Amino acid sequence: MSAVTAAAPTERTSRVQSRMRAMWGPLKSAFRKVDPRVQWHNPVLFLVWCGSVLTTIIGISEFWTGPADSGGLRLPAGFTWVIAVNLWLTVIAANLAEALAEDQGRFQAARLRSTREGSTAHRVGRYDPRADADASDAVTTDVSSIALRPGDIVVASAGDIIPADGEVIWGIASVDESAITGESAPVIREAGGDRSGVTGGTRVLSDRIVVRVTVPHGKTAVDKMIGLAEGAHRQKAPHELALTALLASFSVSFIVIALTVNAIVSPFALPVSVPVWAAVVVCLIPAEIAALLSVTGVASMSRLVQNNVLADSAHALETAGDITTVVLDKTGTITQGDRRATHAEPLHGVSRDELLRAAVASSLRDPTPEGVSAIALARESGIDIGALEERGRSGRTVLFSAQTRLSGIDLPNGSSARKGAESAILAWLKHVGTQPSRAVVDELKRATSTIARAGGTPIVVAAKLADEPGRILGVIHFKDVVKPAVVARISQLHALGVRTVMITGDNPLTAKSIAAEAGVDAFVGDATPEDKLALVKREQADGHFVAMTGDGTNDAPALAQADVGVAMNSATAAAKEAANMIVLDDDPTKLVEIVETGRRQRATRGALTTFNIANDIIRYFAIFPPLFVAQFPGLDKLNILRLHSPASAILSTVIYSVAVIFILIRLALAGVPYRLVDLGRALNLNLLYYGVGGVIFAAVWIKLIDLVVSLIPGY
């Protein structure tokens, strides 16, 4: 029993010591930030710093001159020093707020650094993508990941750490990204699709891939994540800069008042001392907002990093709070993205084997999941894939692209095969001089409509034999499913007042079925990259702020045009370059967190501003009447809090102004919860909670502090 009793205090002592160590880092950082070269970047806090220095100098001079009166009042001994100490505490509290915000990401940053340091890369000397695509015969050299440059080719096998951000150009592998995303489940990265992007510091679990480096050392996703986590070199967003300028102008106005009031009242009253004026200015200028404005930005960026989202600038996060329309790509975003061929439906007069052989021929060199799946379906159905591959080696491959929306092969004997979207196949047949009969087109439309209404994707297969007209052979049914969490996340976007639009290159009927299942507001089918770009522009022309998710090269133009472009970390290099936010764990529904974080930042800044203005009302009546009450006793009627004495009123207000910064730090770090309500109601609630609440809070605490200060002799 005694051992257990003895252990409890030891455990409590350990917790206390741990908390003290955790606070020591931010405290040291706060004292370092007192440097005037740092304070100069925040005009309001620089004024507080100047007031602190001036009051300290006057306090030192009073050792020889003695304390000066203020407005006819005999101030208590040491009053100037008490004011100076509290002004310095205001400066330290303001800097501690930002130091605490930056400290939130330091642990994560330290963990991330270990993933980027010390990795070895197997760099390929001369890479030939045609003769040696898998680099099995190439000479590789082991180099440090720091030595890699964009364009270098590296090989990564099972157990290797991927040395740099890049794009898979050959192979498929299972990759562990838990060091970056925190997700324990491995992910698949493969060449030729929209999941070809890899991140430096992740580990290959199986198979072998060839990677082209796309980002130089120091600018990788991990480096960006470290910078965001630490809040290093954070650039202020336009709204923050504008608000900083407004706060500075308010502060200057109070400085002008302090410099001119003594001259104005000199015929009627004795002058107010400089330390008292310094106290008045520091209490009434928006020091709390100036201190916590950057904290809200650092905390918001850190919150995004914790959600595995990288924002390339504070402006992108700020814009996220304005988003009213979200454009979602279907495949891989709303649906699983791994469409698989489930069965083949030949048209009248066509055998199933003939349809499958044509599907295989058009998919021989198609690296997309659809091409691989079509071949797998044919193999399961007993089609001799080897013979078709041998025949196809001499053919010319037509690769799939978002513009053509089809793939296929042209053989030397004049035969061709194509598979793709219905409209694309009909256009190809027209191009080769074939016009299918009305009956065939009607049968095709019935087949594609049936598949589309069931939520599948119909891929039409056509072939043209030498010296014969082309003909439609049938339809392959590809099935994709809506991600389990998507419906709930889209509902959350609706609750935030955000309109959702799904865009896809699939048949419009398929798009309609998936859109209804997912619950999006609108959809666009048969979309090309130009259509995606046009949709974003159209929404912006209608006055909407648009966010778009995408991961393919064909999404890059629309991502660049969108106000907030969100790319997955597995996306192609072009998509990640065009986007201004990257989701490290490839979860496109993180748009909810992105919008909420942007709006919470804005709501927090609004709440802090309202609270500060409400506080100033009380502080004005607490600190202004005592300035001249000794010569104008009638001013005592403005002492609405019935504070004990002029000296007590001034000191109590100064102490409160210091304490309230410490109190508001937690609010600035956590943020104000954002709930969608009517704009007028939102304003009323804000005024009620942080306006009226700010008045009551300040009045109560200044009065309580005054009761304590009044117990000190001389006050």
114 CB contacts (<8 Å, ≥6 apart)? Answer: none
Which strand (E) or helix (H) includes residue 29?
helix 2-32
Instruction: Give the Å distances, CA to CA, from 578 to 308, 323, 553, 555.
Output: 19, 18, 9, 9
Residue 167 CA from chain centroid, whole number? 22
Alpha-carbon distance of 438 to 447, in angstroms, equals 14
Q: Catalytic one among 103, 160, 329, 585?
A: 329
**What is the torsion angle, in degrees rounded to the nearest 10, for the CA atoms of residue 535, residue 536, residue 542 and residue 546?**
140
Contact 328, 334 (CB under 8 A): yes
Q: Which residues of 36-49 are buried (b: 16+ CB within 10 A; e: fewer)?
A: eeebeebbbbbbbb
Contact 572, 212 (CB under 8 A): no
Contact 672, 604 (CB under 8 A): yes
Neighbours of 423 (CB within 10 A): 14
Alpha-carbon distance of 83 to 278, in angstroms, equals 9
Alpha-carbon distance of 299 to 664, in angstroms, equals 13
Alpha-carbon distance of 430 to 422, in angstroms, equals 12
Answer yes or no: 329 catalytic: yes
Residue 197 CA from chain centroid, whole number? 19
Paired strand residues for 149: none
Neighbours of 110 (CB within 10 A): 12
Beta strands 564-568 and 546-550 are parallel
Alpha-carbon distance of 428 to 568, in angstroms, equals 33
SS (H, E, C) 156-214: EECCCECCCCEEEEEEEEEEECHHHHCCCCCEEEECCCCCCEECCCCEEEEEEEEEEEC
Type of residue at 23: M
Residue linked to tokens 């004049």: 414
SS3 label, residue 476: strand
Alpha-carbon distance of 421 to 445, in angstroms, equals 12
Contact 648, 698 (CB under 8 A): no
Instruction: Measure CA of the first residue to CA of the last residue in the chain; give whole Å.
Output: 52
Alpha-carbon distance of 295 to 97, in angstroms, equals 6
Give catalytic residues, as residue numbers. 329
